[in-house]
Structure 1
């Protein structure tokens, strides 16, 4: 029979949102309530009749609450197959009563992780009895309804009211699937944390977990299904941001906004204002300035054509001056740590423009994981946390860069780290003036960046491209001197690159012959 009546429920929750209303609704439907510790007290204080689990099992909670539900009278009541003669006999022999509804949400381990709790506190926030009960009830979902979050209380009560106190197989199956996924995500967070504490970089088992943040209309293309999940990492960005206004974010919006905000996080807001404009996950304009408005204007000048319909990321609180300039052209998303009231009002006039405030910037030096799926598996690597400002640059040419060139070289290399490989970035006076991304040949990236700089100069009515007198950054070494030749032809005066090619001497000699300054970073920034 697909419908199973609920006569007895066990409730044990750390999140007591909606608990009393739910317990009262169950009681009104004639359901006997069993509960634990603080949950039982809350239900009793509300004037509802409830049996403490200690009275059910005949054992008190012990070991600071570590042992309370790990008992045959609990697990037998959850796992017994109704109608099975052997199971029914065991229940009768040992005075085990069936439990038809389990309501459990787990100790807040993820919250402890987010607040960076001490080790002992983290361990005490690892739930044992909860996952065991959830898994038992979920396995036996043919007979038992399991609820792991308050959002499902309403659905359970609605079904019981519609079906004479029973739930349907469809609801029980859906809730069981959610319950198994919940315990998997919970264990994934614990396993990832403990592996990190133990210094285990390649654990034998790698579990991934997340919580649904948003169902999406489609993926990169309309025929693809998609959803957005939050992990336990809680890195400042799209996943932590509050959307103040605008249309629902799309898959591509989220992907591009993440790319923009990760790049703008490279720029210390205490040192300078910075703006990043991203299109199709690549920056089409990046700049520093005395104000956000100045930084935005300089970033926009790099490639105003690509900036149309792009994502704008800022490293400081959005102010009215910057907001007025940004809304002058069609923009999909603005993301910043915060936005003042005047800026919010200006953006509000563009009802479809999404405005996100993330509260903080992502730390480019923070440890973390990067994950990419492949057929039959996935690749895991540590996040690229190398920051050029922490590197001691090696001058390899006869001429050393000037102070201004050196500042621009560091700027350009920060940007190149976030451009799809092969990446070439021309910069001048704290702003990109040409970006070449995602080409199979590095020389092609150099030429494309120079061509786009020429297009931008022509649109601005300038007599020559801004690559004249610029510096150039390459995310990896120049395998041949032809890539450098393209940069020389574009008018670059200084170069920053990782070095490490078999032909480094040839490339250095070509730079010396052209009077360029060149520095090596010793670190590569491939981004595929």
Structure 2
């Protein structure tokens, strides 16, 4: 035989002639086409049950496995391929004299190609089938042949998916009925991954039925795409994988996403999807480094906001308004952001994104004109992801840090107005405040903890992320609220920029004007943005303008341990507060809110995000 003549004991040969194939599949897609191709190369076809029936119906000559082994199928099909003639035919080492003599003496024949699917165990479980039915759909013979074939891939090709059939047919056509070592190794790796995923699904289900956590967990991932690098350029090995049995929650329509881009995208999409569900309004988010720089829902813009945000002549559709608001919470931080929109992106929203410095967007769909605009942005490098709205995330989440595996239930709590019913202060929460507290709370849910968020008119106006001290988080976000509000100041609006000054340079120059701590070395470059040297915005003018701010909502991802956070929040117009509650200082915090005339609700839900 051709493949035996090429073999030396223990050595892998590149091409192996397929003389005999065993096919036993539950998924009949592509089966007849593959079998017909094999027959054209003179391959003998072995098969069982429904697979043999399907091939015979197509006019193909098939030998039953029971005829090949001389042993009938029995026990309702539980025993049919578990036979030495099957596994000997697969497992023997070609060129090994002892193995070849055993094959000859026992009347065994070589099996060079195995094509199989495993019983659809997960599909059976998903149907809500009973315990005994699920047990009956645990495949035994299939995984045994799969592992035997994969182990002996030096000589045997193992196919476990109809998606592999075209490659096998093309390779055999190009190599006179042979397969190559590269393909056999690739398919063997896929076979072991399938075996691991299959056993993991069974183990998880079985332990779940017993009401206990699985003592050992194996999770199998399929590589979907490579990435240029991870968080940093020195972390060169990087990629994106889907969990076995699941698709990715998005498809890539344009650009080449990076590691951090996709972390931003997956978190941002969850945020806007939840905001839309909670408020019924189109929602948007602007993400940077796995925390939102801003988030908002589509509340109409006032004339003052239109001027402060430099909206220009863009058509103000709901999705465009949502993103304009999200981007203008902190436009300096949003430089190079990853955007997320809860609704189909229209042309107006695409035009807003076109003029901003941004890396990409994730949304559930795109109007043709919008997609054309976005795919041209950054010379085609702008990342366009289409989210799958019906994607259901696993109930549990795993992560690995420094070789340690961590597991938790996914934080699937859906925050809404019902979480704001426990008002602990003398004042109540009006409808608009409830909407803003929902926006701020959902934003905090997807912000690195400790976190707080300030919102007004359906828009985040200050996000504080990742501070070890809660009051520092409150102060950080409050500084952003001050800058946001002072961007509306007549002096800021009256700044005269030189023609040709870039949009982001105008944003940065305004922020530095508001902050007012420009160094002597910095000043010449800063002043070069303007037609004339701007008159300073004094501390007194800032304080007077900030005193006009009110109706701001503040949400915290956990309780306030001291009243100091409330005291500081009072300086930036906070009128409404939401927090988890549960601190020993709750009564002091409630008293502080009453002193300032703030309304505060206890949500009873901590929203840490790490």
TM-score, normalised via structure 2 length = 0.76
Do the aligned partners of 2:208 and 2:214 also contact (CA within 8 Å) in 1? no
* Alignment of 1:443 onto 2:440: no
Name 1:403's counterpart in structure 2.
Answer: 431
| Alignment partners' CA distance in 2, 1:151 and 1:218 | 29
Distance 1:323 1:117, change over 3 A: farther
- Structure 1 unpaired stretches of 5+: none
Aligned pair 1:425/2:433, yes or no?
Answer: no
Aligned structure 1 segments of 4 or more residues deviating by more than 6 angstroms: 161-164
1:29-85 per-residue CA deviation (whole Å, 9 max, x = no partner) reads 443222233433444445443323232234555566554323332223223344556
Q: 2:567 aligns with which of 473, 485, 488?
A: 485
Aligned pair partner of 2:384 in 327, 344, 355: 355
Structure number with bigger Rg: 2
| Whole-angstrom distance in 2 between the partners of 1:43 and 1:280 | 55
Of the structure 1 ranges 470-479 and 206-215, higher mean CA displacement relative to structure 2 is found in 206-215
Q: What secondary structure is seen at the aligned counterpart in 1 of 2:462? A: strand
Picking from 118, 121, 130, the partner of 2:128 is 118
Q: In the alignment, what sits opposite 1:205?
A: 216
* Structure 1 position 217 matched with structure 2 position 228: yes
CA deviation profile, 1:341-381 (whole Å, cap 9, x unmatched): 34334434433333333341567xx7711111033330111
Which residue of the partner structure matches residue 506 of structure 2?
Answer: none
Do the aligned partners of residues 188 and 216 (structure 1) sit closer, same or farther apart at CA in structure 2, a change above 3 Å counting? farther
Partners of 1:313 and 1:125 lie apart in 2 by 42
Which secondary structure does the structure 1 equivalent of 2:328 belong to?
helix
Partner in structure 2 of residue 267 of structure 1: 275
Question: Are residues 265 and 125 of structure 1, via their aligned partners in 2, closer, same or farther at CA, if it must alter by over 3 Å?
Answer: farther
User: Where do residues 324-339 of structure 1 align in structure 2 (5 Å cutoff)?
Assistant: 324-339=351-366
Distance 1:17 1:467, change over 3 A: farther
Q: Please tell me whether the aligned partners of residues 370 and 383 of structure 1 are also in contact (alpha carbons under 8 angstroms).
A: yes
**Residue 368 of structure 2: aligned partner:** 341
Q: Does 1:186 align with 2:198?
A: yes
**Structure 2 counterpart of 1:383:** 410
Instruction: Determine helix, strand or coil for the equivalent of 1:379.
Output: strand
Secondary structure at the counterpart of residue 206 of structure 1: coil
Q: Deviations over 1:280-326 (max 9, x none)?
A: 11111111126222222221221222333222222223233333333
Q: Which moved more, 1:280-289 or 1:317-326?
A: 317-326
1:149: which partner in 2? 161
Contact 1:192 1:207 in 2 (8 A): no
Query: Does structure 2 retain, via aligned residues, the 8 Å contact 1:427–1:467?
Result: no
Residue 500 of structure 1: how far off its partner (Å)? 1.7
Deviation at 1:210, TM superposition (A): 2.3
d(CA) in 1 for partners of 2:549 and 2:102?
Answer: 83
Shift of residue 216, structure 1, vs aligned partner = 2.4
Of residues 258, 283, 289, the one that matches 2:298 is 289
Query: In structure 1, how many angstroms separate the alpha carbons of the residues matched to 2:410 and 2:429?
Result: 30
CA drift at 1:21: 4.6
**Residues 124, 330 of structure 1: CA spacing in aligned structure 2 closer, same or farther, 3 A cutoff?**
farther
The size of the alignment, in residue pairs, is: 519
| Alpha-carbon distance in structure 1 between the residues aligned to 2:137 and 2:249 | 22
The answer as to whether partners of 2:420 and 2:601 remain within 8 angstroms in 1 is no
* 2: CA distance, partners of 1:159 / 1:171: 9
Q: Return the alpha-carbon distance in structure 2 between the equivalents of residues 294 and 334 of structure 1.
A: 16
| 1-structure distance, mates of 2:600, 2:21 | 72
- Rounded Cα–Cα distance in structure 2 between residues aligned with 1:520 and 1:105: 53
1:357 partner SS: strand
Query: Which residue is 2:519 aligned to?
Result: none
Change (3 A) 1:336 1:159: closer
Question: CA separation in 2, counterparts of 1:122 and 1:321?
Answer: 51
In 1: Cα distance, 2:471 partner to 2:228 partner? 39
- Match of 1:412? 440
CA distance in 2, matches of 1:110, 1:335: 30
Classify 1:211/1:198 alpha carbon distance in 2 versus 1 (closer, same or farther; 3 Å).
farther
Deviation at 1:5, TM superposition (A): 4.0
* 1:198/1:266 CA distance change after superposition, 3 Å: farther
Give the TM-score taking structure 1 as reference length.
0.87
1:518 aligns with 2:600: yes
Distance 1:416 1:232 in 2: 31
Q: CA RMSD in A?
A: 3.1
What is the Cα deviation at residue 427 of structure 1?
0.8
> Aligned-pair distance for 1:409?
1.8
Residue 40 to residue 467, structure 1, CA distance change in 2 (3 Å): farther
Aligned equivalent of 2:257, options 235, 249, 253: 249
Match of 1:308 among 325, 335, 340: 335
8 Å Cα contact 2:482/2:572 also seen in 1 = no
Deviates more, 1:452-461 or 1:128-137: 452-461
Q: After alignment, is 145-154 or 410-419 more displaced?
A: 145-154
Query: What is residue 509 of structure 1 aligned with on the other side?
Result: 591
Deviation at 1:425, TM superposition (A): 0.3
Query: Paired residue for 1:11?
Result: 23
Which stretches in structure 2 are left out of the alignment for 5+ residues? 1-7, 300-317, 494-541
Kept after mapping to 1: 8 A contact 2:249/2:391: no
